[in-house]
Every structure is written in structure tokens, then in C-alpha cells.
Chain A
Amino acid sequence: MARKTDLLQGTLDLLILKTLANGALHGYGIAQRILVTSKELLQVQQGSLYPALHRLERKGLLKPEWRQSGNGPMAKFYSLTPVGRACLRDEKEQWQRYAEAIAMVLES
């Protein structure tokens, strides 16, 4: 198994927003989705996920909703608000510029 990388400070919010762009998910689902889509390279610290979710909710980027998960118990699902969608766009651009800049410096 490849070595798992801890998240850079501040990137968790972006990953959550991106993960939710395709539809509502509960907390565990978000963690799983990030792990899967990063081909298990990015490991979300399970504990730090929830404070982040609550922070985004407070900022009005996420909308929570309680509903049945599959055939299991009720779970809290998060989805993007329009503000959250706009924020994702901005953050994504910013991240790409940042990554390019870092890459340019490293490869020069």
C-alpha cells in the first residue's frame, strides 16, 4: 500500500466542497469518497472532518439535511449551497494557480 499523505493545512475545506459537488453525502461518505478518489493517497483525519463540516455549515457553504442512509439509520447529509458552489469555483482556481506556481519553482 502506498504511503498515505496527511492533508496540507487548509486543503480539507476544498476537498470537502469538491467531493460534495456531485451530490449530498454524510460525513463518513465524504471521508470514504476522498480516500477512494485520491486512490487512497489522501487520508482525512477522521476527527478533523466534523469541525470542518460545521465550520462550512456556519459559513453558509453547506446545507445539512437528515435523511435515511441506504437502509441504515438516519444520517446527516451535507450538500453545497449556491454560495458553496461559487466558493468551490474560486478556491479551485486559486489552488490550481498555487500548484502551478509551486511546480514551476520546483522544476526550474
Chain B
Amino acid sequence: MFWKRKETELQRELAHHLHHLAAEFERQGYSREEALRLANREFGGATQVQEQCRDERRWGWTAGLRQDIVFGWRTMRRTPVVTAAAAISLALGIGANTAIVSLMDVVLWRDLPVPDAKQLVLVHWRGHGFPQELADGAAGGMEPENGWDVADFFSYRAFTQVREGVSAMAKVAAFTYHHQVSVSFAGQPTVAMERAVSGDFFGTLGVHPKLGRLLSDGDDSYSEPAAVVVSHRFWERVLRSDAGAVGREITIDNTAYVIAGVLDPSFYGLGPGDAAEIYTPLHHARFLHDGPAGNVLKNGRFWGIQLLARRTTGVDDARLQAAMDAAFRASWEKQPKNAAAAPRIRLDEGRRGLGDPRKQLQRPLLVLGALVALLLLIACVNIANLLLARALARRNELAMRVSLGCGRARLVRQFLTESAMLAALGGAAGIGVAWTTVKVFGQFLAGDDTIPIAFVLDGRTLALASAITLLALLVFGLFPAFQASGWLDASWLRQGARSAAPSTGRGWSRGRAFVALQMAFSVILVMAAAIFTRNLVTVESADPGFDRRNLVLFDTRPGTSGYDKARLAGFYFNLEQRMQNTPGVSMAGLASMRPMNNGGMWDTVQLAGQPQSYDVSVNEVTPQYLRIFTPGLIAGRNFTQNDLTNPASVAIISGDLARRLGGRGVLGRRLRMVDVPPGARQPEFDIIGIAPDIAATSIKDRPLVLWLPFGGNSPAATVALRTAQPPQAVLPIIRQAMSEIDRNLPMVNTVTMEEQISKGLERERMFATLCSGFGILALVLSAVGLYGVMSYNASRRRGEIGVRLALGARPASVVAMILREGLASVALGIAMGVPLVWFGAEFVKKELSGIKPMDPISLCAGLGIMLFAATLAAAVPAFRAASLDPAEALRQE
């Protein structure tokens, strides 16, 4: 190798010189040996000269690096356990951080996988509240922002007029929210998420097909046959990755479509976690035609279409916004009286797609990011401490190297190389850790109707992992390196190989400071674990007001799988009877809304003749359904089969609502629904019963509930079954019964009530699980740190302890002395950490649904765990020191 040859040349060159010098001395009459000795003395230490020459040379740098690495590897191999522990803790820290930042990248920062994503804009409007004068109904979202309400829904007419009005400045495409549909392909029924889009939707985005073709303007018209484009995921899941599926027929909600093409796998939708799997043209989307609003494309007073646009190069947002605004106003049937408060177009950046997952996940990701950063810090402090201890142990070697001519810079470099090798080990392993961690995160973050967020290992991720590794290296590598080089002052070198540590007082206090710092960070993580775990336990074990055991739920969608309105009621009646008679099922009931599903239908009601109105969760149910969830009514009577079929309007209200409305006296009074389009008749109901309060929509809250009779005309329903045996035993019988009723009707989302409840607690579970993991890691790391410092300290004080014991100190007092010192730094750390916990708790308040942020039980539990672990870590070295044989210890001194 190059450097080796150079090295030999250097030796030969110097040997040549010495040879001449010696010859000179020999000529002067000295003996051969004497001449060699004199030559060497005249020349000055050959090794030192060699070292200086190396430093002067260009190749010295790389050769030195190689030497450093070989040397570092040898040092690391000498203490394999310590090295492995350091690398593993570093890998966990780096991996967790990479995972979180990668997720942040995917969810918060990454552009949509389409060309020139920065040209995309999301078209919104802002105003004050729902525009009652302009619209009767809407499908979409509206959120308050800086005193305005920002909404994303438009009428179809607004879409066509805006598209025309700005055709020179931008391409405008329309889409809807996704919703669940029944799908049947090759005789196999299933459900999927459908999104209706305008014909040029894919063209505007710039997406390409993997197979077949995507939709075009031509597809989006009544005269064309219904075509559909499916996602790559759907193609794999339902079409079984069959390339021949393109061109074949697929049934979506009773309507036949032709599969036009399959999207490229890189297109994950309009944002990370987008669940939409099939895309239909607006003109062929059944739900836009058959809903309560009639034909949405013709109804200018129903705003249920979302818009996005792609700017032509050179067009600025202000001009585009003004042009869109004019077209938007022109699409209204009449201008509102208060023009200032009327909706106005607002453009938002569209390069990252729809903003909902960003808004939902920003805070949890930030909280988790802060926690994993702390974890990495703890790991770094631990490693710094460890390297420092190792440097101390290597003083003899260092002294030797310095006296042999090793420069200070070279020594610092040696330390840094070793740290960098450790960092590289940890970083490489960290990518593996990140890979697994992010899968777990992705699963947790996927909500009810979103798909797991995909993690991509690409250049960005690798660069990220390297950056985090480098950062960690700076934290834990630089300090020991300079620390060690600081010891190289003359006084210390003169002490040479003697065993006393240099500047002992400072070394010890630094170790303790490290321990305190680690403890402060660990307190935060352990407390977070305690708080989030207790939160989950509290929420999950909350009493929902009914027996959650032996309860099975599934959805059925007959209305979209071939049953017309006339046959629906009969089907439902038959279904309930059949389920009721299935062996193992003790009660069967139907509802229009799935319980515990974090949502449902909401309305506003008031007693006839009273001004006060209340927000209520509405569910249409059969009498059997109420019997499953409540042992009996507080007052009044349950629905009867007659109520279900009879047009007379009756209602049962929850106990809470009854109390608000004035107690039992409300029985027999009339309740009115307030929130209806202007001019429409407000539905009224006779209150016939008062039911106990139950957690109807989520285990986390108990809304006021309005129960209405299940009329049997909704296209879908949820079936609730109370089983006599554990659900798993009964499920096969239920499936069998269902397939006997109708083989083509799939059971959708079949879960037990316990599963349904915990599905709504994914966020809480994620925090509890991850924080517990982080907390345990932090605890182990800081306990190891404490143990290391305590044992080092105890071993350095062997002599002193030996004297104490020889003079009659009891071992117990020695244990107490060392424990006291250890726990003092722990206490200092906890004292520093608790205020940080207090600040942090305020920040995570929103994530806690079951307990208060500074929950005393969690805090005590956290502190207890910390102190227990710390005592354990300090006790082992303390007892070891106390069991010293004084004579032995003193002899060594």
C-alpha cells in the first residue's frame, strides 16, 4: 500500500543518514558501537524525527487516520461489553430520532409525489359561519382561523365557473371527501373508500398510471360509460394484482363500472394516510346523485365539492385569488345582503396535499420528537461519561505516547476517531432501529379510516440519520477529547504512570454533574411514561355505562348491494329476527350509527316552546338495541315494533338530556330539531322514554343522546349482538347465519366492543406504549451512568475507605456515605427535572383525556420508580466498597 511504501522510504532515508554519521565518527577513531551511539545522540530521537516527518507530509493525514482507526478498533475490542452497550444505546437513540423525524418529513414536510408540486394550491373560502343565504347543505370541513371560518366546500356550479374564469391562469380540478362503498369484483364482495373526482383531476396533478389509463375530461359526462381508476393498494388487495383486471367490470354500490386503469404505487393519494382507493368521475358517482340533496351537480345550493388548482408558471396567488373570487361570486344565485361577510376565495399551499393529517399529527409528533431527543441526549451523556472514564484509565498509555512524540492535536484526533467509530456503529444500527420503529409509529398513527403511513428509506432518511449521528457525535465526542487533551499538561505528565487520577476533585464533580443531568432528563421521560400510561388505563377502564363484554358489532350495507328501498325494511326485520335466533346470541339489535366510533350524527334540539337548545348525538335504533345497552329505562317506555313502522314520531332521550330539559316532567312533551335549512319543516318528536346515560360515541365522553326508532330505510346499518359465550366462539356461527341470509352481503368491520373501544384510543395507546419504552430506556441508561460513576468513585477511594474501616468505621456507615453521595446527585437531577415536567405537562394537556397533566398518582409513581432504580444502582458499588478488606486495600495503596 502507498502509505506503507512511504513509511519504509522514510525509515531508509533516516537510516542512511545515521549510517553516514556513524561512519564519520568511526573515522574519528571511535569503535563501531560507540560511533553508532554517538550518531544516534547527534541525530536526536529517530522516532521523534519520523513522527515529525509524518506530520509534515501530505500522506501523513490519511496514514494517521488509518492508524487511528486500527488503534480505535483495538481499544473498542478490548472492552467489548462497554462498546456494545454504548453502540446499542446510541443506535436506539439515533433510530428513534430518525424514525420520528422521518415521520415528520412524510407527514409535515414532504411534497406530494407529483411533478412541480409547488404549483399546486388548495382552493378554500373564508367567511363567517355557514352561508345560510347561499347554501342549504354542504359536505366538507370548516374550521375557525383568526376570527374567520375557513371552509373547503363549493357547489358544482362554482367549480365549473371558477374553472372557466381562470383557465388562462390555472387548471382547476374537483374532488370529494372519500366515503365507504360496497364493491363487488368477480363475485367477491368487499368494501372500499371511494373518492369522486373531476375528469382532469389526475391530469392536473400530473399522475401517471401503472396499468391502463387514468380518467380524462371525456369520462366525466353522462354520455360516457362509467369508468373507474383504482389505487395500487386496491389493485393488490381486491384485484389480486391481476394485470388483466383493466377493462373488466366492477360493481360499486349497485352500479357497474369499467376499470380504466391502476394508479402508480408512488401516488399515495392527496396526502399521507389518504384512504381513498377508487376514483370515480363526478358524473358517475352515485352518492352525488342519490343523496338527500338530490343531484349535487345540478343543485347550486348544495356545496359538496372540494377544489385544487395548478398555477400556470408566472401567475401569482393574488391575481389568481381575485379572478377566482369573481367567478365564485358569479356562481351564486343571488348576492348576500352583507357583502363584507360573504365568502371569499382563499388559496392555501397545496404542494403537500390535504392538511388534515398535518394538523392532527403535528402536536403528537412534536411531543414524541422532544421525548426521543431527550433519550438521545441521555445516551450521549452516558457515552461521554464512559469515554471519559476510559480516557482516565488510559492515562498511562497516553503519557507514553506523548513522551514518544505524539502531538496534542494528534491525541485529540485519536479520541475523536474513536468516538466517530462508535457513532458510525450506532448510526448504522440506528437505521435498522428506525426502520422497525417507524412501522410501529405508522400503525399507531393510522386512524380509523386512514391507511398506515408508509416509511421510505431513501437519501433523505439516510442523510437525516447521518446528521443526527453527527450531532450526537459532537455532543459526546468533543468533550472527552478536549478533556483528555487538557490533562496533557506538564505536571500531569511528570506524574506519569502513577495511579492517582489527575486533578481528582474536578473529575469527580464532573461525573456527578453528568449523573445529575441524566437524571433530570430521565425524570421527564419516566414521568411522561407514568402520566400517559395512567391516562390510558384511566380512560380504557372508564365505565361506559353498559357491559362491554360479550358484545359484537358489524356493519351491513344492503342498500348499496342490491336492495331497493321497498325491500330494505323487510330485510332489516328479517336480519334482526334471524340473528336473535342464532345459537350463542342472546340479543340482537340494529342501529343506523355505529356506537363508540368517535363521531356519528349530531343535531341540535329544543323543547317545543323553549329557547334553550342542546347539541345531541342522534342514533336510530331498534328496541332490542336499547335493551342490549341499557338494563332498563329510567322512565317511560321503550320503542315497539309498531314505532318502527308507524310514521308517528317518537323519541327516547338520555337521562342527562332529561335533567337539562327539566326532569321527568318532559315525558310526553314535544322535542324539536332546530338545525334545518331555512323554510324546511322542523321535525318534532314525542318524548316517550328516558334512558340511562351511556358513552355512546366514545369512551372519552358522554354526550346528550337522542334515540329515534330505526325506520329501516337507511342503506346501511350496524348490527349489535350480545353473545352468551365469548364472541370468538360465536363469530363463526354468526358468519354462517349471515351468509345464509345473503351470500353477497359482506360483514363490514366485525369487531368486539372491547376492540371498538380500544380502536378509539389508538392515540392514547401510542403515547403510553412509546413513552413507556422511552422511560424504561432512559431509566436503564441513567442507572448505568450512575452505577459507573459510583463504582469508579468507590474504587478510587479504596484507600480512604480502607483507613476508615481499619479505624473502626462500621460497614453500614460506609454504605450510607456512598449512597448519600450518589443520591445527592440523583436528588439534584430530580430537582432540575421536575420543573421541566411541569412545563411539558402543560404542553401535552391536549393529549390527556383521562387525567390532569400534573396527576399526583402518576407523579408519585414516576418518582418512586426513579428513586428505586437510582438506589439500586448506587447500592451495588456501596456494598462492594463496604465489604473491602481494609488490610488488602491499604496494602494496594
Residues of A within 8 A of B (CB): 26-28, 31, 45-48, 50-52, 54-55, 57-58, 66, 69, 72-76
Contact = CB atoms under 8 A, between A and B. Distances in A.
A58 B45 contact: no
Contacts of A31: 17
A50 B44 contact: no
B13 to A, nearest CB: 5
Given A46-B21, A73-B16, 8 more contacts: A27-B16, A27-B17, A46-B17, A46-B43, A46-B44, A47-B52, A54-B57, A69-B16
Nearest to A74: B12
B17 A28 contact: yes
Contact of B52 (A26, A51, A58, A74): A51
Residue from the set B12, B16, B44, B45 with the largest chain A CB neighbour count within 10 Å: B16
B237 interface: no
Contact of B44 (A26, A45, A73, A76): A45
Given A28-B17, A76-B9, A47 B58 contact: no
B53 interface: yes
Given A47-B49, A74-B12, A54 B20 contact: no
Given A46-B17, A46-B44, A51 B55 contact: yes
A46 B14 CA distance: 10
Contacts of B17: 26-28, 31, 46, 50
B42 interface: yes
Contacts of B16: 26-28, 69, 73, 75-76
Interface residues of B, number: 21
A2 B45 CA distance: 26
Contact of B43 (A47, A52, A55): A47
Contacts of A75: 13, 16
B16 to A, nearest CB: 5
> What 8 pairs between A and B have smallest CB-CB spacing?
A47-B44, A51-B52, A54-B56, A28-B20, A55-B56, A46-B43, A76-B13, A47-B49
Residue from the set A26, A51, A55, A58 with the largest chain B CB neighbour count within 10 Å: A51
B48 interface: yes
A58 B49 CA distance: 16
Contacts, number: 58
A76 B5 CA distance: 14
A51 to B, nearest CB: 4
24 contacts: A26-B13, A28-B16, A28-B20, A45-B44, A46-B17, A46-B42, A47-B44, A47-B48, A47-B49, A47-B52, A50-B14, A51-B52, A51-B55, A51-B56, A54-B53, A54-B57, A58-B56, A58-B58, A72-B19, A73-B16, A74-B12, A76-B12, A76-B13, A76-B16
Interface of B: 9, 12-14, 16-17, 19-21, 42-45, 48-49, 52-53, 55-58
Nearest to B41: A46
B19 to A, nearest CB: 8
B24 to A, nearest CB: 9
Contacts of A51: 49, 52-53, 55-56
A28 B44 CA distance: 14
A47 B56 contact: no
A69 B48 CA distance: 26
Nearest to B49: A47
Residue from the set B12, B14, B20 with the largest chain A CB neighbour count within 10 Å: B20
A45 B44 CA distance: 8
A72 B49 CA distance: 23
Contacts of A26: 13, 16-17
Nearest to B59: A58
Nearest to A75: B16
Contacts of A55: 56
B44 A27 contact: no
A57 B55 CA distance: 13
Nearest to A28: B20
Nearest to A73: B16
A52 B43 CA distance: 14
Contact of A58 (B12, B14, B19, B57): B57
A47 B45 CA distance: 8
A69 to B, nearest CB: 8
Nearest to B52: A51
Contacts of A52: 56
Contacts of B52: 47-48, 50-51
Contacts of B12: 74, 76
Contacts of A76: 9, 12-13, 16
A55 B56 CA distance: 5
A84 B53 CA distance: 19
A35 B712 CA distance: 116
Nearest to A69: B16
A5 to B, nearest CB: 17
A54 B57 CA distance: 6
Contact of B53 (A50, A73, A74): A50
A76 B49 CA distance: 16
Contacts of B14: 50
A47 B9 CA distance: 16
B293 to A, nearest CB: 83
Contacts of B57: 54, 57-58
Nearest to B44: A47
A94 B677 CA distance: 98
Nearest to A51: B52
A55 to B, nearest CB: 4
Contacts of B49: 47-48, 50-51
Contacts of A74: 12
A73 B45 CA distance: 23
A51 B60 CA distance: 12
Contacts of A50: 13-14, 17, 49, 52-53
Given A50-B53, A51-B56, A58-B58, A27 B43 contact: no
Contacts of A46: 17, 21, 42-44
A59 to B, nearest CB: 10
Nearest to B16: A75
Contacts of B44: 45-48
A93 B300 CA distance: 94
A26 B15 CA distance: 12
